[in-house]
Amino acid sequence: MSIQESRRPRPAPAQESAPAQEPLWRHVVGGVLRRRRRAQGRTLQDVADVAGISMPYLSEIERGRKEASSEMLAAVAGALGLGLVDVLVLAQGELAQAVRPVRQVSTTGVTSGQGSRGTVCLAA
């Protein structure tokens, strides 16, 4: 095989029907924070100032580009009048809605379709 042949992009393997991908946690949490901030009619700068973080960093969190630490999430949640548990519950609800048609979590693990055992619920 020549060098030129090895550099050619290989075709992607054919997939019959690609399963829906689960959203990343940082995207879900970022969306929750952004919607709450906008619902309160507040600016990024206002919330960032109260939370004690930079406005560009808060923007990155809201857009799901940064994986915020629990301390940062707690600070932003507090600036929005929420507890960390409130953010987690809202994010969990959205995540469950996004993946419910695809998967179900059973007490024995993740299964496809309908499981015969009970489902696991997250509680705070």
Residues in the chain: 124
> Which residues are 110's β-sheet partners?
105
Q: Where are the domains of the chain?
A: 25-112
Q: Do 47 and 58 meet the contact criterion of CB atoms below 8 Å apart?
A: yes
Residue with tokens 């048609």: 101
Best CA proximity match to 103, nearest among 114, 116, 92: 114
User: Average pLDDT of 100-108?
Assistant: 58
Residue 117 has pLDDT above 80, yes or no: no
Say which residue, 3 or 23, is predicted with more confidence.
23
Alpha-carbon distance of 12 to 120, in angstroms, equals: 36
Dihedral Cα 90, 71, 62, 31, nearest 10 deg:
-10
Residue with tokens 């024995």: 108
DSSP 3-state assignment of 106? strand
User: Average pLDDT of 47-72?
Assistant: 97
Can you read off the two tokens belonging to residue 37? 């901030």
Residue 97 has pLDDT above 60, yes or no: yes
Can you read off the two tokens belonging to residue 119? 């489902």
Which amino acid is located at 44 in the chain? L
CATH 1.10.260.40 fits 25-112, yes or no: yes
Band (pLDDT 50/70/90 cuts) for residue 16 is: very low
